Structure 1
Amino acid sequence: APADQDPVAATWVWLADAPLTPRGSRAPDQSPGPNALDLAIQELKITSATRNPQILVRPALAARLGTQLASLPIEERLPLLKYLAAHEELAAELAFLLDPRDDIPAAYRVLARLLEAHGDRVAELAPLAAAICAVHDQPKDRHINENTLPLIDPVELFGYYATHERQMRFSLAEAPTATPATLLVHLADATGTIAEYDWARTRYRRDKNIGNRYKEIAYDTRALTDDGYVKRVTAAGGYSLQTIRELGGVCADQAYFALSVGKALGVPACYVRGKGGETSHAWVGFLEQTGRQSTRWNFTAGRYAEFEDVQGTLLDPQTGETIPDAFLSIVAMSTSASLERRQDSLALVDAASRLGFLASRSSGGQGLGPEVVAQQLDLLESALRTDLGNLRAWIFARNLLTRPTTTLAQKEHWTMAIDQLAAQVHPDFAFEMLAPIFAAESDLDIRFNLWDWAATRFGGRPDLAARARLAQTHIMLEQGRQSDAILAAHAVFTQHPDAGPYAVEALVLAERLLEEAGRQEEAMAMYAQAFETLKAPRRLQKDFLAQTSWHQIGTRYAELLEAAGETRQAESLRRRLGR
């Protein structure tokens, strides 16, 4: 496109007769978007782009539209072109949300269905429409233990939210205060039926805390004690919100009920799982307002104390991948950024990606040189300082920083940047970003020092500090310092006995190292001391008791007593453990 021509306008014209491109491929170089983006990157220079990212938004949008819509056959493409060209806010919401992992032609086919059924309401609720298209391009059933639940049809689901828009807790409309589509995907993966959602909306419309709905469901305790037992709600058939409320269930059903009520009220919500010891547990996560333009994810409802140090995971509705709950926490920060700043941030990420593509192509696929990586990292840091909730920018930067060619200075700079941007409010997320960067450092002494910094920085979180000290212990083993590693592993427990699974992991490692060193007799004394350090937990169901550090360490101590011939003491300990 000529320098004075808007690249998006030129892209609409080009797409009218552009050839079909295979799914997953980039738009041809003759399309206006990539050319305009290249000009913005190369002629305006990286420093200009990071100071003024608005110069990248139109070229980045044009490049995305050209790539995405060219993957549709011309007969499907043309009707969409006319509408999207007249409603560029909708075009931008969907184009910037879609990811290469999406089935992009299928996503635009969902959009065509929405437009046919709901007309201009789709453009009015552009963030919601984009979220529904991104989730329903590859619809997959959800499984709540033994119950399988299909997604609600996208046309019906959009109709529900459009009809009851004013009753929804979070804004769905295209407006300065609209909820970002990256959060609305956690509405778009709704399962069950519209009738259930109508029931939930009517019954709980005044409910201010979705987490309360988790506890509302009575626990079907026989499911914990009787292996052959079929839950009442499953045995009744017709799994639904109403039957769960009537008949109760286990943690999975409690979480599903609460998240479904949340979605019915327009609250993005998700099903979170965690495993501690031998026991899995499910709880609910939901978005809550913390200020006029700020939100956060609440993961406390149903997350018993025994699982506070267990990492929760959830299904990303858009990609179908399993992600840590910490990732979702950072995405909520996007509500503090305006739509313009969110798009500026996404355009900076696209520029970093395009820069890498151009460099790789010009080098014949020989990899990226240090100068290019440095420029990419500058663009990504600017993206994050523009919108802290841009998860793509975080992951892109983390992946670059794990490359062998990354310099120590770059790692140290980004360690401080991650600390400044995320560690104070989102320590779990900051740790998840730093861990692979530190682990990729080849120099063992430098890696040890990086983890030492982490253990101090996250000292207020026993679980994170213990993970850092365990990483140092493994470095000692790489260095051949087995005796030091035994002491270090034991110290992880003595310094952080309340670190949950990481405290147990440290003792197990120390035991293995003692055995390898021919010092097995010391293991029993170590477990005896550790067990007496811990307090017995409050009364818990057997399955939840089994995942506590107290129970796991006590169980292993009893096994060691048994092996040493201390049968009576082992039996006494097992009675104390409730086995």
Structure 2
Amino acid sequence: MCSAELHPLYAQAVTPVPSVREPVEVTTKEGARLISSVGTVKLPAGIKIQVVGTKGEDKLEVVVTNIRGTVLRSATDFDDRSKGVAAGTAPVAPTATADQKPTADPSRAPLGSATQTSPPQQVTAGASPQAGRTADPGGADRGSLDERDIPNELGILANFRLPLSAPARTAAVQYAASKDRWFQLSRGMSEPLVSDVSSGLVDQSGWRDRLILATIFSWLGTTEERCIAALALRPPESLHDFRMTPAQEKTYRSMVTAGVNSLDATFRNEMCMYFLGSDRSKWPRGKASVGSRLEAAPLEAMLVKKEFCEALVQSVSEKDYLPGVFMVLQDLYKRFPQDFFEYQNLAIAMAIVYDVKPPTDWPHGQVKDGLLRLTTEPWVELFPYFVRKDRDKALYADIKTLPADILKFLVDAPIPISELEWASNNVTTGRAVFDKLYSSIRYDIERLRQGRFDWEAGPYSLESIKRMGGICTDQSYYCYISAKAKGLPSLIFTGIGVAAGHAWFGYLRADGWYMNAGRGDEPSGQAMDPQTWQVISDTQLAFISTRQSGSTAYQYSRNMLRLAFLPVRELSDEKRRRICRLALESSPEIPASWYAVAELLERDAGRTIELRSHYRSMSDQFSKQLDIWAEIQRKLARLEWASGSESRAKAIEEDLLRSRSDIALDTAREILRRMQETQDTESVLKRYRKYIAEYSKLGGMTFYRVAVPFVSDLIRSGKTSLALDVLRDSTACIPSDPDSPVRAQYDAVHAWLTKELKRRGAGESLGDEEQKRERRRARLDTL
């Protein structure tokens, strides 16, 4: 720390300087002095410097920097060469004491190098950030910055006591974009961030500014090949009708264990087709960075906005396809530059939803092919629709005040905008009673009795549903889209009850999420998170709704999690765990910090004891959020099985089997799958029959959650004949009512299996597409 006697406004003689909360630029006058730990140095007049902060009660101690953010600590900072620096031509590295001169010219030092400016420290310490190189997010070493290429104004990036000004942001973006040096600049900011994680700097806006910018730059420096590979790491159950071959499943498991930078060419192309569609211009371009695909002007306009960057980092997850996110943002900015920042959360929500195309079975998989037209670039019509309706005050919610991770449940409607216009003009139900809209759609009981679960009555439109009626999926879809048209985030829930599967909807009321519209007596439900198209439970949604995202503790926790996973080579897994634990201790109610610690512990086979303890603590923390509790208990059971602790594993599974009915049945299903890998067929069948008898009173829930998955597993392993026998064993949980949807489902699967066995007996076979259609008619792949 240094102190300085400055302009009379701030200091006269030995009069203490008043506390400076914001950086104040001053120009030195005759007689100004720099007071260091060694002695007092006279400063030239006319030097532009900044008073950044004060420290100490009994003596004058002021942190002083030049206008580029370089800390001024000694006379050598004001020699003839450095006078130009103080005027703003180049950054200067700090020296240890007032009488020490730099041994090398640091004015061209790369960010993050040992000679680059560090956050202000005690003068006598003389410590600088640890030099080093970080791991490339794309898997390749891109080298270090060329010292001769660094613009002078980037020196401020390393001084965390100063907020990042718009000119500094602009300079950084222009430099990185012109030379594709996103990753290197991210590294230059990240390494000092990591070195100062335990200091008070993390609470200052300058530190947070650089963390956010380093995070975004690391995304832009990631190779596109890595991005498509990351999509492959989404759990297989989230891929809907995408089916991996056994070899691909093996590849998937190895990727989950070891991480991935690239994919087998065939698998890669299949993933691109599934997630991105047939337009190959959207496919990844090998080792090219995400930033290299983008235009400099829109990117600069976005990243120079501090509030936009904060909202973006708050919203993007590790499961998003980064090229898609930034391409949607770029397109929206170019099309709607006047509205983009006013509705920036709306734009970000569209980017995180439409980074990949929606799954082919959107919205619920019960519409005959060709009857529902999906748009290819939904944001082009959706963004101006919501802007116009908001300005016309035609929306029930104030969409400008909602964060992107709530608005994503508003914009996930990849249908012609005419559908939303129809609902806007024809639906008049108020926000407080919007759940009543569900019962306004006539229930088609005859269609249910005939087992015709798919909509086949012409184009699947809101007007058609209103006129003709429908079953629960159609009622839910009608309300789900109508809510969006009125500015209410919404989603469709599905659940399995005793009598049948059921669908209902949830929407955002003025006092939070209401998730029981049309629900009935279903014990639990799940929906699709449109950001990832993965399952999200109602309890997880409730957490999103109630979290205190604006609290200091929450922001600190989120910042630590971002820091822990920056691509810095010096960050060992042990250091990352320590940082994640800081996040956990700050906000233990946030599941993300618990999952992050678990992920890092799972990487190290030698930390079984620590991982077991962590799982137990996490189970205790979330004992009232049963979905999270059950997930962690299953992880704990798997850990005990893997470590040979059979008795502990069985005890955990017994607790799960006594839990809520859906959790018990899902546990039974997992036990059967584990047994298929380790035990003989007769033992597995005996346990299956035990579960069918034990849970037969749950009817359709048991059939859908235990019988159908077990039958599907047998079919996939080529045991079709055994699958038919197992299906017949499940009749105890089939309702006797001939009009029951569960019985209709049973009959459909039974007929398909019987037909398949006859075909095989006759030596016949179907092509892949025809077989897929038949399996869908039997509803094996969509349950």
TM (norm. structure 1) is 0.69
The answer to whether 1:34 aligns with 2:187 is yes
Q: Distance in 2 between matches of 1:130 and 1:509?
A: 37
SS in 1 for 2:605: coil
SS in 2 for 1:270: strand
Letter in 2 for 1:405: A
SS in 1 for 2:578: helix
Q: Distance in 2 between matches of 1:450 and 1:54?
A: 47
Which residue of structure 1 aligns with residue 622 of structure 2? 422
The answer to whether 1:249 aligns with 2:462 is no
Aligned sequence identity (%): 18
The answer to whether 1:208 aligns with 2:432 is yes
Letter in 2 for 1:34: R
Higher RCO by CA contacts (8 Å cutoff, separation 6 or greater): 1
Which residue of structure 1 aligns with residue 584 of structure 2? 381
Q: Where do 5+ consecutive residues of structure 2 fail to align?
A: 1-110, 112-116, 120-158, 222-289, 712-724, 750-783
Q: Distance in 2 between matches of 1:68 and 1:200?
A: 38
What does 1:341-356 align with in structure 2 at a 5 Å threshold? 343-354=555-566
Which residue of structure 1 aligns with residue 326 of structure 2? 108
The answer to whether 1:13 aligns with 2:171 is yes
Residues 68, 95 of structure 1: 8 Å contact kept: no
For the structure 1 residues 68 and 340, does the alpha-carbon distance in structure 2 shift closer, same or farther, using more than 3 Å as the test? farther
Q: Distance in 1 between matches of 2:508 and 2:657?
A: 26
Which residue of structure 2 aligns with residue 44 of structure 1? 197
Q: Distance in 1 between matches of 2:745 and 2:622?
A: 30
Which residue of structure 2 aligns with residue 183 of structure 1? 406
- Please give the per-residue CA displacement for 1:413-460, whole angstroms capped at 9, x wherever unaligned: 433443344331x21233224423432445555364256246447845
SS in 1 for 2:193: helix
Which residue of structure 1 aligns with residue 123 of structure 2? none
Cα offset, 1:54, TM superposition: 7.3
For the structure 1 residues 254 and 451, does the alpha-carbon distance in structure 2 shift closer, same or farther, using more than 3 Å as the test? farther
Cα offset, 1:245, TM superposition: 0.5
Which residue of structure 1 aligns with residue 308 of structure 2? 90
Cα offset, 1:259, TM superposition: 0.6
For the structure 1 residues 337 and 498, does the alpha-carbon distance in structure 2 shift closer, same or farther, using more than 3 Å as the test? farther
- Please give the per-residue CA displacement for 1:58-97, whole angstroms capped at 9, x wherever unaligned: 2321112323456345982224413542x32123212442
Give aligned pairs, total.
Answer: 502
TM (norm. structure 2) is 0.53
Q: Distance in 2 between matches of 1:387 and 1:61?
A: 20
For the structure 1 residues 243 and 67, does the alpha-carbon distance in structure 2 shift closer, same or farther, using more than 3 Å as the test? same
The answer to whether 1:129 aligns with 2:347 is yes
For the structure 1 residues 507 and 198, does the alpha-carbon distance in structure 2 shift closer, same or farther, using more than 3 Å as the test? closer
**Match of residue 506, structure 2, among 282, 286, 300:** 286
Cα offset, 1:130, TM superposition: 1.0
Cα offset, 1:252, TM superposition: 3.1
Cα offset, 1:289, TM superposition: 4.2
Which residue of structure 2 aligns with residue 436 of structure 1? 635
**Match of residue 446, structure 1, among 633, 638, 645:** 645
Q: Distance in 2 between matches of 1:286 and 1:97?
A: 21
Letter in 2 for 1:185: K
Which residue of structure 2 aligns with residue 61 of structure 1? 212
Q: Distance in 2 between matches of 1:472 and 1:74?
A: 47
For the structure 1 residues 164 and 372, does the alpha-carbon distance in structure 2 shift closer, same or farther, using more than 3 Å as the test? same
The answer to whether 1:336 aligns with 2:536 is no
For the structure 1 residues 420 and 195, does the alpha-carbon distance in structure 2 shift closer, same or farther, using more than 3 Å as the test? same
Q: Distance in 1 between matches of 2:641 and 2:659?
A: 28
- What is the alpha-carbon root mean square deviation over aligned residues? 4.9
Q: Distance in 2 between matches of 1:14 and 1:501?
A: 59
Q: Distance in 1 between matches of 2:545 and 2:492?
A: 20
- Please give the per-residue CA displacement for 1:450-484, whole angstroms capped at 9, x wherever unaligned: 56246447845133245557767888999989999
Residues 355, 376 of structure 1: 8 Å contact kept: no
For the structure 1 residues 502 and 492, does the alpha-carbon distance in structure 2 shift closer, same or farther, using more than 3 Å as the test? farther
SS in 1 for 2:566: helix
SS in 1 for 2:622: helix
- Please give the per-residue CA displacement for 1:11-50, whole angstroms capped at 9, x wherever unaligned: 542221225688xxx9423x0x4333332323334x979x
For the structure 1 residues 358 and 378, does the alpha-carbon distance in structure 2 shift closer, same or farther, using more than 3 Å as the test? same
Q: Which has the higher helix share?
A: 1
Residues 190, 568 of structure 2: 8 Å contact kept: no
What does 1:222-237 align with in structure 2 at a 5 Å threshold? 222-224=446-448, 231=455, 233-234=457-458, 237=459
Residues 401, 437 of structure 1: 8 Å contact kept: no
- Please give the per-residue CA displacement for 1:366-394, whole angstroms capped at 9, x wherever unaligned: xx5xx346425414524753745x5xx46
Letter in 2 for 1:194: I
Q: Distance in 2 between matches of 1:385 and 1:400?
A: 17
Which residue of structure 1 aligns with residue 741 of structure 2? 543
SS in 2 for 1:283: strand
**Match of residue 156, structure 1, among 347, 372, 381:** 381
Q: Distance in 2 between matches of 1:229 and 1:103?
A: 34
Letter in 2 for 1:435: R
SS in 1 for 2:175: coil
What does 1:464-483 align with in structure 2 at a 5 Å threshold? 464-465=663-664, 467-468=666-667
Q: Where do 5+ consecutive residues of structure 1 fail to align?
A: 361-367, 512-522, 553-579
